[in-house]
Structure 1
Amino acid sequence: MPRAPRNVPRTPPACSNARAPRCHHAFLLLLRLLLRVVPPPPPPLLPAPRRNSLRQRHGETAVMAPPRWKSGDGHRRLLLLLCCCLLAFPCHAQQQVTRNNVTRRSDQVIHSFVGTYGINYGRIADNLPAPEVVVRLLKLARIRNVKIYDADPKVLAAFRGTGLNLVVAIPNEFLKDMAANPSKAMDWLNENVQPYYPSTRIVGITVGNEVLGGQDTGLAEALVGAVLNVHDALRMLRLDAKIELSTPHSEAVFANSYPPSSCVFRPDLMVYLRPLLDFFSKTGAPFYVNAYPFLAYMSDPSHIDINYALFKPNAGIVDPKTGLHYDNMFDAQLDAAYFALEAAGYAGMEVRVAETGWASAGDATEAGANMENAITYNSRLRKRLFLRKGTPYRPERAAKAYIFALFNENLKPGPTSERHYGLYKPDGSVSINIGLKGLVPSSAPPPSTLVPFMGVRAWGRIVQYSAALLPCTLIFLALAT
């Protein structure tokens, strides 16, 4: 019988912004000190008397004002410029993060996601390459964040020593046993984590997948207990500060998601969501959601502009409550989750996308499922993520997402689209051509709709630092004049 959910104490939502703080106070103190050290500029020289001219005639040198750049005033201006430039760049000192009245240093915060782009490595197929080959493919594609749906020992062994971030999963069928018996959680960790960690870089564990919103209320009741028991086991192994614990949700947990500002959680699910969100706000874990503009478009193609779903130029929508403009559905879905969290009292919780993608083929009834749209969505999404941009409602927090999926999986049940999300074919060749390299030459169509991608990451950093440098330059000009 599933264990009743524990009463997790309600705590204020945590701020998970992990940006390095800017050391403004330190630089301002330095600036004041330097301005005291530099002597004031000398008074302007009076016209030299006539006798100086006579001395010049006899080979004597008159006293001349030093060049402006060598004067005290010039030194002061140079130091002002230096300090203003330093203000534009982040300080790399150890950061302190406060969560639930507990102050943590930055080296104690779990960093389970590098950059903004990851991939789901599903394996419901009988023709996939060996995990060792998959590791070579991931390195060739420069994908560092990988999420799987179980804890297969062959995969865990293949990832050993690779440096790739790996998120493993506890499948739904284990949750009821883990909720009822804490020893089951410890047994699972001893079998699937302890023998491989830390040489296999396991950075996260997902407990179940899309549990809430389904028909199995018993599974929903077991979710909270399973999460708490797994966390207790991680704490006993002293891994709770090293491995992130989470659970991905589908869009079914929302009562309404349009417009984004009206999004709230379903009232009937709050009995399960409240203790989960309380717990994750305490640990600093993000809220994971599976966001599929493809599924939203397919459900109502007559009323949804496909360009809006594909990141193509379009008029977009304006949220009537906030006035925010959305030119793509992906951002709108993320902000809908942010609004739902805020309405529930968790405004500081980060939202990450556990799954998103577009099928390259489908049944006749699956509108938009074709290769051209799959290339467009995946390539434009990749560019959008690598720019490290936030959403209209959370512009300061870069969006992060795991793409679904690495391979086409030929044994997945359901409509045809379920077997055609993969960026690669089972032989390692490219299926959806978005500019990634494959292990073998591909017959995939050329990426005619591919958005130019070279230098996107570099340009993103240039824009970021330019935005920080501009106000500092204005401060310098104001102080120097």
Structure 2
Amino acid sequence: MRFEMLLGYILLMYGSFSAALGGYVGINIGTDLSDLPSPEQVVAILRSHQITHIRLFDADNHLLSALSDTGIEVMVSVTNEEVLRIGQSPAAAASWINRNIVAFVPSTNITSIAVGSEVLSVIPNVAPVLVSAMQNLHKALVSSNINNGVKISTPVSMDIIPKPFPPSTATFNATWNTTITELLTFLRRTNSFFMLNAYPYYGYVQSNGIFPIEYALFQPLSPVKQIVDPNTLFHYDSMFDAMVDAAYNSIAAFNGSVIPIVVTETGWPWAGGANERDATVDNAEKFNNNLIKRVMNDSGPPSQPTVPMNAYIYELFNEDKKPGPLSERSYGVYFSNGTSVYTFNLGTSGDATVNASGGFCVARKGADAGSLQDGLNWACGPGQANCSAIQSGQPCFMPDTLENHASFAYNDYYQRMRSVGATCDFSGTAVTTMVDPSYGSCIFTGSTNSSSGGLVPPAFGPEGPPGNISPRQLPKIWSLLLVTVGLLVL
């Protein structure tokens, strides 16, 4: 009995710490592109760029398998085409859960299910069974005893809030009152969150000059351009904050309660047609990097300052097969080979921790490209590292980036030669880490992993494992847990 009480108390403490650790930024993964990488290559790209949260627009079983044992938090989706059948049939919902959730957890870290995508806007005729579909899926999770670890919600578009500014007076379109009431009741009952797709790009373009572009890009506003809600006198430094607050106020107008909001889609296109002059590389780079800084400060919008704003950037790759204007095909932050469209960093763990006692030798994130190339050339030449695995068609070739190839070469040299005094430096472009950088079938020298899909952290020297928890907070948390254990044992 004492052990059970101790374990329960530890889990309670851990849950409390986890809930207080702040916001995260994830990324959406679309598949409507002509040169889609394999699931293993997608996972390698995620790891190499330190991406720890993803949203899939379906429940691709091959990708879910490739994500096994990576620790990456995964939001899977019921497609719009599946919502009607699942909403009408509990058996169909149970089958979907068994195929796409039960078959993969806990190895694949599935944490939520998005039921459809903007159903109220895209397929309004299915709205009457939307919440029924969510309820049927939740019952199937309960039957499988995994409902506590997997939340269910549905992404809605900002267009169901007709007048989002000022946020204090925002309300949902009355057409959807019945569905919204059912939805909010379900979210509150299951302790889930409200999924919102919010694009300041469209808000800015459609405002026809009413709002300055700095407001949409999270940039400082001059005193004469300050955006203030006249009812609350809240100052809004970004359109993103105002959009989230508009949703919070719309929710409050129904039941007065606070249901946390997760922004399931946001982003800025880096290319556009002749009439899309604000879709530029510079604006996309500013928006996404400023978004990351905004979310990672762990505060909420003015009306809910203590509720972090988690967000998923749209999207990982440019989906060149999508219809519509050029901007629709230009939201990707990476090309399909893993290289960045512009300077972009979703990794939140900072510089790598150097561990002089050994571990793995990897390229320092942000190292000068010329110096990295010199180091790679030396390691594979005079250093006599075995670089065959990073050749085209070999298991460590993808992602085809200088940092990834240098990490493999640096580590192979270091593992072979450190016993005779070799160091992990390479003119300041390398660091050591105790975290195994292996991924998929790419096994780094010195790794104990012998099969693909082992515990695979980011490739470029992170401070700790993927997930919500900042590595800097882990020692404090474990210290507190150990003290608690000691006190209870005594």
Corresponding residue of 1:185: 93
SS in 1 for 2:262: strand
Corresponding residue of 1:258: 165
| Kept in 1: contact 2:317–2:331 (CA 8 A) | yes
Distance 1:213 1:117 in 2: 25
Q: Which residue among 71, 74, 85 is the counterpart of 1:166? A: 74
Corresponding residue of 1:123: 31
Number of residue-to-residue matches in the alignment: 350
| Kept in 2: contact 1:114–1:144 (CA 8 A) | no
| Kept in 2: contact 1:385–1:399 (CA 8 A) | yes
Query: Which residues of 2 match residues 195-206 of structure 1 at below 5 A?
Result: 195-206=103-114
TM-align CA RMSD: 3.0
Q: Offset at 1:391?
A: 1.4
Q: Offset at 1:131?
A: 1.5
Q: Offset at 1:180?
A: 1.4
| Kept in 2: contact 1:110–1:244 (CA 8 A) | no
Q: Which residue among 133, 139, 164 is the counterpart of 2:47? A: 139
Deviations 1:264-285 (A, max 9, x none): 1111101111011101111111
Distance 2:336 2:235 in 1: 40
Corresponding residue of 1:364: 274
Corresponding residue of 1:278: 185
Q: Offset at 1:123?
A: 1.0
Q: Offset at 1:345?
A: 1.1
| Kept in 1: contact 2:269–2:284 (CA 8 A) | yes
| Kept in 2: contact 1:169–1:207 (CA 8 A) | yes
Q: Offset at 1:352?
A: 1.2
| Kept in 1: contact 2:22–2:298 (CA 8 A) | no
| Kept in 2: contact 1:108–1:241 (CA 8 A) | no
Structure 2 gaps, min length 5: 1-7, 347-364, 366-398, 404-462, 477-490
TM-score by length of 2: 0.67
Deviations 1:218-259 (A, max 9, x none): 211121111111111111111111211110100122132111
| Kept in 1: contact 2:194–2:261 (CA 8 A) | yes
Taking structure 1 as reference, are residues 186 and 275 closer, same or farther at Cα in structure 2, changes over 3 Å only?
A: same
Deviations 1:56-99 (A, max 9, x none): xxxxxxxxxxxxxxxxxxxxxxxxxxxxxxxxxxxx96687xxx
Query: Which residues of 2 match residues 320-469 of structure 1 at below 5 A?
Result: 320-435=230-345, 439-441=400-402
Q: Offset at 1:106?
A: 7.0
1:316 to 2:277 alignment = no
Taking structure 1 as reference, are residues 346 and 406 closer, same or farther at Cα in structure 2, changes over 3 Å only?
A: farther
Q: Which residue among 307, 310, 316 is the counterpart of 2:214? A: 307
Deviations 1:20-42 (A, max 9, x none): xxxxxxxxxxxxxxxxxxxxxxx
Distance 1:345 1:109 in 2: 28
Corresponding residue of 2:428: none
1:220 to 2:127 alignment = yes
Distance 2:336 2:229 in 1: 42
Q: Which residue among 180, 186, 210 is the counterpart of 2:118? A: 210
Distance 1:108 1:199 in 2: 24
Taking structure 1 as reference, are residues 176 and 301 closer, same or farther at Cα in structure 2, changes over 3 Å only?
A: same
| Kept in 2: contact 1:137–1:439 (CA 8 A) | no
Distance 2:212 2:78 in 1: 37
Structure 1 gaps, min length 5: 1-91, 97-104, 443-454, 466-481
Deviations 1:138-193 (A, max 9, x none): 12221111110001111011001111111111001111111111111111112112
Query: Which residues of 2 match residues 40-119 of structure 1 at below 5 A?
Result: 107=15, 115-119=23-27
Distance 1:114 1:319 in 2: 26
Q: Offset at 1:213?
A: 3.0
Taking structure 1 as reference, are residues 386 and 366 closer, same or farther at Cα in structure 2, changes over 3 Å only?
A: same
| Kept in 2: contact 1:429–1:441 (CA 8 A) | no
Distance 1:388 1:432 in 2: 25
| Kept in 1: contact 2:266–2:312 (CA 8 A) | yes
Distance 1:458 1:128 in 2: 31
SS in 2 for 1:428: coil
Corresponding residue of 2:355: none
TM-score by length of 1: 0.68
Q: Which amino acid aligns with 1:304?
A: F
The alignment-based identity, stated in percent, is: 36
Q: Offset at 1:356?
A: 0.4
Corresponding residue of 1:236: 143
Distance 2:118 2:256 in 1: 20
Distance 1:357 1:137 in 2: 19
| Kept in 1: contact 2:49–2:345 (CA 8 A) | no
Distance 2:184 2:11 in 1: 25
